[in-house]
Structure 1
Amino acid sequence: MGRLHLTHFGVFEADSDGKTLRTRPWSGDPDPRPVIDNVASSQHHPARILRPAVRQGWLERGPGGAGRGDEPFVEVDWETALELLSDELCRVYKEHGSSAVYGGSYGWASAGRFHHGLSQVHRFLNSLGGYVSSVGDYSYGTSGALMPHVIGTGPADVMTNASTWETVAAHTELFISFGGMSEKNTAINPGGVSGHGTRSAVRTARARGCQFVDVTPIRDDTFAEADAEWIAPRPGSDAALMLALAFVLETEELVDQHFIEKYTTGYRRFIAYVLGETDGIPKTPEWASEITAVPAETIRNLAQRMGRSRTMINLSWSMQRQPHGEQPIWLGITLASMLGQVGLPGGGFQHGYGTVAYVGMAKRVSSTPSFPQRKNEEKGFIPAARIADLLLNPGATIPFNGSEVTFPRIELVYWVGGNPFHHHQDLARFRRAFQQPSTVVVHEQFWTSTARHADIVLPATMSIERDDYGAGRNDPRFFPMPALTEPAGEARDDYAIFAALEQKMSTKHEMLWSFSEGRTAFEWLEHLYADWSIHLAAKGIDVPKFTEFWEQDFIELPAENENQVLFSDFRTDPVANPLRTPSGKIEIFSEHVDSFGYEDCPGHAVWLPPQEWLGDPARKFPLHLISNQPKTRLHSQLDVGAESQRSKIQGREPVRLNPQDAKARGLVEGDIVRIFNDRGSCLAGLAISDALLENVAQIATGAWYDPDPNDPSFCRHGNPNVLTPDLPTSRLSQGTSAQHTLVEIEKWTGLLPALTVDAPPRFA
């Protein structure tokens, strides 16, 4: 057996000749996923960055954004690159201070606890004086702002402490998933996943008699083993459907009034709105049917089943990545409260079953060692999804979660371990924003769009090319990850880059403290592991010495409670275990949120029509495009890999369309089509599927942005974020509304333009 290696999408066994790999899924994984094939096939791809490179205009004219993204690069040696970068860092910190440096570096980065790109760059910038940071994220930034007001904690804590799949399989009678429970998303886990077990849990629950209901415009966005009933509302109308469910529960006396009185606050304010007492519009199933196109009887029947069953309400992350995304999340928690099953085995709610692999795994007794970032002395921050606004509008002020955020002027962006040209929306606008700073620095493994829009590009190693260790969130195994091959080209790990920069900076700039503390990367692995061992020993848990661990395949991490149930302590004694809300209870109506005065997020959940949706009779474009997560990669990671490439149609990202919509446009399977609206357009390959609601199209995010040289709003490869609006979900969260937009689709009849994402950029 070859050496094991952990990735975000599974464990593989590897044989290596020192330069290349042969990999196969680990036999210990009961349900390995093919995404893992992307790793070895990407390592020596032509798009790999092999040497340091500097944008020609920046090298010749000095700092400034003119030409960024268009000009060729000049390859330089490491000494030159580090000298240029250290000088520029010194200039910016001396002349403008830490408020002029943005180090958000948002992204999953590579698996591995020490060589985690975000931790590395944040620690380094903190040693220089700090950086403007981001709060929240693109994944669940909207619910991240809302949920603390409603239940006293954020999504990460709710997911880590989720009722385990074992309790769901044993107790849940009705499992309702708003926004799908996607098989493809359970392939991945932050930090890694050693065994994919969600399919088995779903199969067990269904065999016991649990009924699954999937509320989504995409029928196959769940496990086939669930044998799920499909309810397909118009995209963006879920809040209306959920309000009608609440109406039925209340009017048919299916509400657990004892739970409402003991564990919640504000119910009367909310239910007055549902009954139409405050606005004159009762939220009946008939009212919701007009909005959602779901039959009123279907809504009524579902509510009745909810009230007579042990019901789990699952809220996909996708539910809050849309305009007014706070509302369906708040309503899901409210419905669970009305049923009175929060804290019971198999009942209540969850924000993310089927979204990542760890949700439903029991929480481990301890997280594993990681590289400490230390304190950021800079107080400036932005909501993560507002980076384009930051760069385009220095000095502007936006409302955020009851306060205001003022954008500083950013001189230098330092990005490590992420691809904002994947995560962000309205990419033509984002490209303009990325041209505003004086300098953009990127550590990257491949020539992604982010690297192509940088000034200084430093080649980074993949996880297979460096020593590390790793474990996924809630995952029961901790893996040593020794390097399997030599680095490609002149690539260095991020720690080595920052340690070398530290040496140069220390003679030019007064650092707050030592980044490296005089240790090599391997010495850090030993040091952090030793501290972690002491921490575990205090809990009565022994782990092997580091030298023994390094030679093993993995060690087991025990769980705190194999049968954990979300909020069980709160249910047992809400006085002794109050929630961290002002009332200590679930806030169905929040006085605090209401005090903000936000019309787009009032004090309880409401129905607010999206800016773009199929229910608007004056809409300009006839199709609702859903841009969800890909099946063949993690976000945009390793898009050049074998599994990702197998999904392409003539090299373009596939877009799915209902047969009737395809026929109406004269389209057939395999056509190259143009997807467009007023923001932009992209090419894609057509796949026809009856798993989609009519008038709905679906394309995965993550195809590397390949703009036309004369029109950055036109992507030749199929990145949907040239189409999606860069608008916040609300003033409360300033989260991304990336999931939805209106478009039209037509057959591409011109000459098919060549792609450039699978090769390096131009070099001078």
Structure 2
Amino acid sequence: MQNPRPARPDVHHGVFTTATHWGRYRVVVKGGEIRWISPLDDPEPATIGYRRTSYDQGRGRVLRPMVRTSYLQNRDAPARPRGDDTFTPVSWERALDLVAEEIKRAHNTRGPSSIFGGSYGWASAGRFHHAQSQVHRFLNGAGGYTPSIDSYSYAAMARIVPHVLGTSANEHLLSLPTWEEIAEHVDLLLAFGGLPAKNAQVNPGGVHVHRSRSGLRMCAEAGVELVNISPQRGDLDIDDAQWVRVRPNTDTALMLALTYEVWAAGDHDAEFLRECCVGAEDLVAYLSGALDGVVKDASWAAAVCDIPDATIRDLARRIVGGRTLITASWSIQRGDHGEQPFWAAIALAAMAGHLGRPHRGVALGFGTHHSTGARQRKLPVASLPQKVRELPEIAPIPVARIADMLLGPGQEIDFDGRRLTFPDIDLVYWCGGNPFHHHQDLNRLVEAWQQPRTIIVHESFWTATAKHADIVLPVSAYLERNDVAFGRHESHLSVMHAAVDPPGEARDDYAVFADLADRLGFRREFTEGRSADEWVRHLYDTTRDGLAAAGMPIPDFRTFWAAGEVTIPLPEPDRRADPLALLREDPMRNPLTTPSGKVELTSATIESFAYDDCPGHPTWLEPKEWLGSTAAERFPLHLLSPQPRTRLHSQYDQADHSAESKVRGREPIHVNPDDATARHIRAGDVVRVFNDRGQCLAGAVVDPGVRSGVVVLHAGAWYDPVEPGGLDAHGNPNVLTFDKGTSKLAQGPSSGTALVQVERFDGPLPPVRAFDPPAQDT
């Protein structure tokens, strides 16, 4: 083909532009090395992007194809377990032959369902070099595989919202108000889980200009009352915001009490409940104690949530006293019974008369990334098709149930009204994401990870996932390949220039899959005759055609590539299209897509499932572990593991910015002063954090912004066990978290449900080896 790659300057010298999930950047290259990365025209640049040069060119890159030594010597019975072995370098030809042989073997002996196509997370902002699209397209062409469904971020929301509102979670996100609309139309904003600014640094597909911090300040300056309902004061970083120091995992109880207090005072919206909702009478029977003898009032919730009942009654009065928006962060649904707080938030907004009002009601997931708070639109932006050929459908597994699947082949589980059977996985192919960061109970995952015969991983760095693989194929990072980025809420398409060559023998994922497809006999179908850069241009041209058909013309590819970005001329959306607003306007003409056509405060569908952990209406169900349980007698601190400020999940943990946040080389753990004093812990001490599932070391930060009884250990420190299944030296909280489905409805992650104990660690400190390559055999 002509013009095999987009024109770009010499990769050894020059100034390049690129786009990432956390912003757009100018990249300075001299002598083939990245010398400087700086934000591009962004008044509020994300801190993640600072001092990034050490990341792409630092230690720990995978430079050659590597095979676990015991596996290379005997694939049928390796001498040593995964995670406790050396690696042997091999040629690309040898590595690709091994991978192709294993895929053929798995298909021929166990069938396509025996291959799990693992991919997750934020591997690249690019539309083409998107690891999940690449691996799924390849495995589909190879004959099929077992996929996963839903998200670690909001699996519970994804399942409960369609039952209650008749819309998908993504459609709900498209309807959220903007910062400007909140500032103009809202008097009171109740933020369950807060609105942490650090989360808004990132956005799927990129951020053109950050506006979340200024948006929140705009609301405060406009007189919006901001209430942060969270165990952490910093979850809403406005000085005069009210801080309600709720116990973790008790948001549902607080919401139900607020709902009861609004009803008991006679301040409820009886007409909306009657005309636009079903099941309000059943919910009231539960709240009033008619069903179980327990009145869910402010006094009841005060004991559960460990906050004053006067605070709850005051909030109830204020909710109905003005224009109120209730937001709920994704964090509060990543716990045991995580479906309940989102259902309860909808019920509260309906009871108080705000649901379906312009810019009011509920905003589930507001503030969880940058696009919430900005105008979001569905646009015809092309992505890599994942279907190469039509194959019999294989049932996906819930994404957070990977360890269950590997440990329990043939077992059945309930999932949103269905029964799923776990396949017998023989081969795991992982490309994009790091399960040894984002999965719960990593010691259990280590055990589960030993079950398949073969694990293949594409990686740029020696992450724990790579160290627990059999075959590791080195792949390029985003600054080493051309692409096009498009953020979910953005009105821009951004260029991602290849600024430097990949190090060592690294290749991009597409080149690897194309060569494997050649060995498996479907190269033409996989590549469609295009090189990687021809695909980038094709996706842009396809997007251009789609936008032109919708009346939104953009320049040709050559102009775009030279300019570095293009602005999409967007029409203003019709805000009347909000289904809840239309329902309120005329319930008969504008029904929702729920079975009743109304907001389902009680769901007959969910009730018919007869799940003991997800009843037919919002309900307070005690978590498996919480500070009000007997388990707190042994482990009296609730562990929170939110997203970090200095990296995106586990990405860039080895970069300077993340490294500078560590305490004596360990991930910092934030401890309330009273809890620190009781344990003779001072700032800068290394502490041991432990429960029955595992233990890790961390560096103490004494923080009055954390409520007593709670510790905060941010997610993303690379897993670094001193020995397999043993003490983690670096501070990964997922050695401590709970690997249980939120309920039978969603089977989402319950990582927010975890009790621990903390003590000062006075023994010899083990070295942090998280970023070091494994030992090699020659």
- What TM-score range do you get, normalising by the shorter chain? over 0.9
Identity %: 45
Change (3 A) 1:64 1:175: farther
Q: Is the 8 A contact 1:365 1:560 kept in 2?
A: no
- Name the counterpart of 2:271: 258
- Name the counterpart of 1:435: 450
2:564 pairs with 1:553: yes
- Give the superposition deviation at 1:133: 0.8
The counterpart of 1:637, out of the listed 627, 651, 662, is 651
Of the structure 1 ranges 548-557 and 419-428, higher mean CA displacement relative to structure 2 is found in: 548-557
Change (3 A) 1:74 1:675: same
Of the structure 1 ranges 257-266 and 65-74, higher mean CA displacement relative to structure 2 is found in: 65-74
- Give the superposition deviation at 1:69: 1.2
Which digits, 9 at most, give the CA deviation of each residue in 1:499-536, with x for residues without a partner? Answer: 11111111xxxx59711111101111122222222211
- Name the counterpart of 1:312: 325
The counterpart of 2:97, out of the listed 69, 83, 91, is 83
2:758 pairs with 1:745: yes
Letter in 2 for 1:46: R
Letter in 2 for 1:219: R
- Give the superposition deviation at 1:466: 0.1
SS of aligned partner of 2:545: helix
Which digits, 9 at most, give the CA deviation of each residue in 1:241-291, with x for residues without a partner? Answer: 111101110011111112112221111111110011111111110111111
Letter in 2 for 1:687: V
- Name the counterpart of 2:528: 517
2:435 pairs with 1:420: yes
- Give the superposition deviation at 1:223: 2.5
Change (3 A) 1:312 1:27: same
SS of aligned partner of 1:220: helix
2:84 pairs with 1:73: no
- Name the counterpart of 1:301: 314
* Alignment of structure 1 residues 358-373 onto 2, 5 Å: 358-373=371-386
* Alignment of structure 1 residues 117-516 onto 2, 5 Å: 117-224=131-238, 227-374=240-387, 377-506=392-521, 511=522, 514-516=525-527
Letter in 1 for 2:104: C
Unmatched segments (≥5 aa) in structure 1 = none
Partners of 1:314 and 1:62 in 2: CA distance: 51
SS of aligned partner of 2:525: coil
Q: Is the 8 A contact 2:47 2:645 kept in 1?
A: no
- Give the superposition deviation at 1:730: 0.7
- Give the superposition deviation at 1:364: 3.0
- Give the superposition deviation at 1:368: 2.3
* Alignment of structure 1 residues 748-763 onto 2, 5 Å: 748-763=761-776
Of the structure 1 ranges 258-267 and 316-325, higher mean CA displacement relative to structure 2 is found in: 258-267
Q: Is the 8 A contact 1:310 1:341 kept in 2?
A: yes
Partners of 1:216 and 1:459 in 2: CA distance: 42
Letter in 2 for 1:694: S
Letter in 1 for 2:413: I
- Name the counterpart of 2:625: 612
- Give the superposition deviation at 1:728: 1.1
Which digits, 9 at most, give the CA deviation of each residue in 1:15-56, with x for residues without a partner? Answer: 112622233443421210220126422112111111110111
- Give the superposition deviation at 1:486: 0.9
Partners of 2:40 and 2:398 in 1: CA distance: 42
The counterpart of 2:124, out of the listed 102, 110, 134, is 110
- Give the superposition deviation at 1:104: 2.9
SS of aligned partner of 1:578: coil
Which digits, 9 at most, give the CA deviation of each residue in 1:560-579, with x for residues without a partner? Answer: 53684754344444444322
* Alignment of structure 1 residues 621-632 onto 2, 5 Å: 621-632=635-646
- Name the counterpart of 2:9: none
Aligned length: 758
- Give the superposition deviation at 1:341: 2.0
- Give the superposition deviation at 1:557: 2.5
Letter in 2 for 1:447: W
- Name the counterpart of 1:526: 537
Of the structure 1 ranges 600-609 and 354-363, higher mean CA displacement relative to structure 2 is found in: 354-363
Letter in 1 for 2:572: N
2:53 pairs with 1:40: yes
Q: Is the 8 A contact 1:128 1:512 kept in 2?
A: no
Q: Is the 8 A contact 1:625 1:696 kept in 2?
A: yes
Letter in 2 for 1:648: K
The counterpart of 1:60, out of the listed 50, 73, 79, is 73
Partners of 2:593 and 2:203 in 1: CA distance: 28
SS of aligned partner of 2:546: helix
Change (3 A) 1:617 1:560: farther
Of the structure 1 ranges 367-376 and 118-127, higher mean CA displacement relative to structure 2 is found in: 367-376
- Give the superposition deviation at 1:180: 1.3
Q: Is the 8 A contact 1:677 1:743 kept in 2?
A: yes
Letter in 1 for 2:324: T
The counterpart of 1:666, out of the listed 680, 685, 695, is 680
Q: Is the 8 A contact 1:362 1:564 kept in 2?
A: no
Q: What stretches of structure 1 move > 6 A for 4+ residues in a row?
A: none
Q: Is the 8 A contact 1:132 1:378 kept in 2?
A: no
Letter in 1 for 2:562: E
Which digits, 9 at most, give the CA deviation of each residue in 1:692-746, with x for residues without a partner? Answer: 111111110110000122x514211000111111111111111100023111111
Partners of 1:318 and 1:569 in 2: CA distance: 30
SS of aligned partner of 1:714: coil
- Give the superposition deviation at 1:63: 4.7
Of the structure 1 ranges 370-379 and 249-258, higher mean CA displacement relative to structure 2 is found in: 370-379
SS of aligned partner of 1:43: helix
The counterpart of 2:671, out of the listed 651, 657, 672, is 657
Q: Is the 8 A contact 2:186 2:324 kept in 1?
A: yes
SS of aligned partner of 1:483: coil
Partners of 2:631 and 2:649 in 1: CA distance: 33
Partners of 1:651 and 1:232 in 2: CA distance: 30
Which digits, 9 at most, give the CA deviation of each residue in 1:446-491, with x for residues without a partner? Answer: 1001000001101111110001010111112110112011112111
Change (3 A) 1:668 1:674: same
Change (3 A) 1:616 1:86: same
- Give the superposition deviation at 1:365: 5.0
Partners of 1:315 and 1:376 in 2: CA distance: 39
Partners of 2:31 and 2:133 in 1: CA distance: 28
Partners of 1:575 and 1:561 in 2: CA distance: 28
- Name the counterpart of 1:23: 36
Partners of 1:125 and 1:613 in 2: CA distance: 42
Change (3 A) 1:571 1:392: same
Partners of 1:485 and 1:571 in 2: CA distance: 56
Change (3 A) 1:472 1:725: same
Provide the aligned C-alpha RMSD in A: 1.6
Letter in 2 for 1:642: D
Q: Is the 8 A contact 2:624 2:753 kept in 1?
A: no
2:732 pairs with 1:719: yes
Partners of 2:326 and 2:569 in 1: CA distance: 28
Of the structure 1 ranges 530-539 and 665-674, higher mean CA displacement relative to structure 2 is found in: 530-539
Change (3 A) 1:526 1:618: closer
Change (3 A) 1:556 1:42: same
Partners of 1:363 and 1:454 in 2: CA distance: 39
Partners of 2:229 and 2:574 in 1: CA distance: 27
Partners of 1:261 and 1:195 in 2: CA distance: 44
Of the structure 1 ranges 636-645 and 335-344, higher mean CA displacement relative to structure 2 is found in: 335-344
